[in-house]
Amino acid sequence: MSFGQTPSQTVGPFFHFALPYNGDEVLVTDRTLGERITIEGTVLDGESEPIPDALIEIWQANAAGRYDHPDDQQDKPLDPAFHGFGRCPTDKSGRFHFHTIRPGPVPGPGNTLQAPHINVTVFARGVLKQLVTRIYFEDEEKNADDPILGLVVEPERRATLIAKKKSGDKNVYVMDIHLQGTGETVFFDV
Amino acid sequence: MADPISYNREEKGAQPPNLFPPYVSSIKRAPQQRLLLVPQTLSEVTGPVYGHSKVLPDDSDLTRQHQGAPLGERIIVSGRVLDENGRPVPHTLVEIWQANAAGRYIHHGDQHPAPLDPNFTGAGRMLTDAEGGYKFVTVKPGAYPWRNHPNAWRPAHIHFSLFGPSFLTRLVTQMYFPGDPLIPHDPIYNAVPDKKAAARMISRFNFDTTMPEWALGFQFDIVLRGRNATPMEQ
């Protein structure tokens, strides 16, 4: 018997009638604990043209820093009103957005602590295998000690992982995702 | 807290590169920088347990989502979702989508001049059972043209999306049909470097799941990344 991995293939251009469900980009209800934030951004190609047929998925811990998953056995509370998964297709202008909460910090390798972050997966036509990145927050002191951010040596590359606060718009963070070229986002081999 | 038990990394040759120039859409969308190798933390070994409340029994029978039966060859697509250690992946969401028998998607962006079928949407979802098994009833999708290169045609395929137990086991793939003459010419299929690994995406005709006087059976087993046998030092 062979148990080799099934290969990945592109999501293609025609997933919209099957994968996104209304409301998948809203991770919170009235009862969710934590600070409400909005993440918004644009997905761009190597010529800085917006990508109107991408699908963004996010996965994050709750406000206390615990994932709603059986392998997270931390002594922190689960939030029955928060599960941490969101999905949003980009619109004609390549834009996506999520309404969620600021996650708490979670443990990293060894005895390190990871700064609050959101895990991101990008699917699109032309993308043969999903791209993985993260969203950190610019107004977060713990970024300086984050073990994953610390792996990115060049400051300008590191900046691609950090969402900027939108001026004049409280609790809105902007995170553009550049698949290629100028300002290319750091993507991870996980 | 102890470091989590990590998952196997990508199997060499079994996964497509980001850039595969014969697939033209990859040229401007593939990152040019090398991917950053990162340790697997709690953020990666956990993942969404998603969709349980949204899956309805009829979501897995694509021939019964409208008033009438769709046109085309009725088929049963079934199989098991396993990890690399051969263990079943139970209760995980499987989503599929496809063109109709004429090779046309219901999607507004599909301009192929083949007829839409008012009795076919082409989207399904279900959870695997305790043994990792799944089963969809649908119609065989048609091949369709695309503009990747002159006279380009996609082989008949069904798109699959799976979650598995973690962020790392997420898989979007396509299932092909045995004997399709278009497969060797398809740049998306050919993007997988190892030909034996690529062939894992071709379903197998199966008399055992074929229902007499009703529908042909195709079997498609899916293997997600598995956990290392021992915890890895980081």
The structure tokens listed for A143 are: 């970024």
Q: How far is A163 from chain B (nearest CA, A)?
A: 18
Indicate if the pLDDT at residue B3 is higher than 90: no
The structure tokens listed for A91 are: 């619109």
pLDDT band, very low/low/confident/very high, at A1 (cuts 50, 70, 90) = very low
Contact list in B for residue A106 (CB cut-off 8 A) is 41-43
* Neighbouring C-beta atoms of residue B61, cutoff 10 Å: 15
Alpha-carbon distance A88 to A94, whole Å? 11
Is A23's Cβ below 8 Å from some Cβ in B?
no
Q: What is the pLDDT of residues B171-226, one digit of tens each?
A: 999 999 999 999 999 999 999 999 999 999 999 999 999 999 999 999 999 999 99
Alpha-carbon distance A92 to A86, whole Å? 20
Is A40's Cβ below 8 Å from some Cβ in B?
no
Q: What is the pLDDT at residue B228?
A: 86
CATH number of the domain that residue B39 is part of: 2.60.130.10
Token look-up 């991101």 returns A120
Q: What is the pLDDT at residue A168?
A: 86
Report whether CATH 2.60.130.10 matches the domain A7-117+137-190.
yes
Contact list in A for residue B122 (CB cut-off 8 A) is 17-18
Half-sphere exposure for B54 (CA within 13 Å, toward CB): 16
> Would you kindly state where each structural domain of chain A is located, as residue ranges?
7-117+137-190
Q: Report chain A's mean pLDDT, rounded to a whole number.
A: 96
Percent of all residues in chain A with a pLDDT value above 70, rounded to a whole number: 99
Q: What is the pLDDT at residue B54?
A: 78
Q: Report chain B's mean pLDDT, rounded to a whole number.
A: 94
- Spatial contact of B89 and B81, defined as CB atoms under 8 Å apart: yes
- Beta strands B216-219 and B204-205: pairing type? antiparallel
Alpha-carbon distance B103 to B161, whole Å? 20
Q: Identify the domain containing residue B39 by its residue range.
A: 24-224
The structure tokens listed for B191 are: 């993007």
CB contact under 8 A, B49 and A128: no
Q: Is residue B180 part of a domain?
A: yes
Reported in sequence order, the residue ranges of A5-149 that DSSP labels E, i.e. its strands, are 36-44, 54-59, 85-89, 95-101, 106-107, 113-114, 117-124, 131-137
| A94-98, A109-113, B77-81, B230-234: the lowest-pLDDT one | B230-234
Measured in Å, how far apart are chain A's first and last C-alpha atoms?
26
Q: Give the mean model confidence (pLDDT) for residues A136-141.
A: 96
Q: What is the pLDDT at residue B127?
A: 95
Q: Give the mean model confidence (pLDDT) for residues A66-74.
A: 96
Q: Is residue B127 part of a domain?
A: yes
Q: Is residue B112 part of a domain?
A: yes
Q: What is the pLDDT at residue B1?
A: 63
Token look-up 């004049």 returns A168
Q: What is the pLDDT at residue B39?
A: 96
Give Dmax (Cα) for chain B: 58
Best A1, A2, A10 member to test B by mutation, with max B CBs in 10 Å, is: A10
Q: Total structural domains in chain B?
A: 1
Q: What is the pLDDT of residues A84-106, one digit of tens each?
A: 999 999 999 999 999 999 999 99
Catalytic residue positions of B, numbered: 105, 144, 154, 157, 159
The model's pTM is: 0.96
Indicate if the pLDDT at residue B234 is higher than 70: no
Q: Give the mean model confidence (pLDDT) for residues A173-188.
A: 97
CB contact under 8 A, B26 and A46: no
Indicate if the pLDDT at residue B4 is higher than 90: no
ipTM: 0.96
**Higher pLDDT, residue A22 or B48:** B48
Indicate if the pLDDT at residue B157 is higher than 50: yes
For B47, residues 6+ apart whose C-beta sits below 8 A from its C-beta are A59, A69, B163, B164, B165, B166, B167, B168, B169, B170
Q: What is the pLDDT of residues A24-37, one digit of tens each?
A: 999 999 999 999 99
**Higher pLDDT, residue B230 or B185:** B185
Q: Is residue B9 part of a domain?
A: no
Q: Give the mean model confidence (pLDDT) for residues B97-119.
A: 95
pLDDT band, very low/low/confident/very high, at B16 (cuts 50, 70, 90) = very high
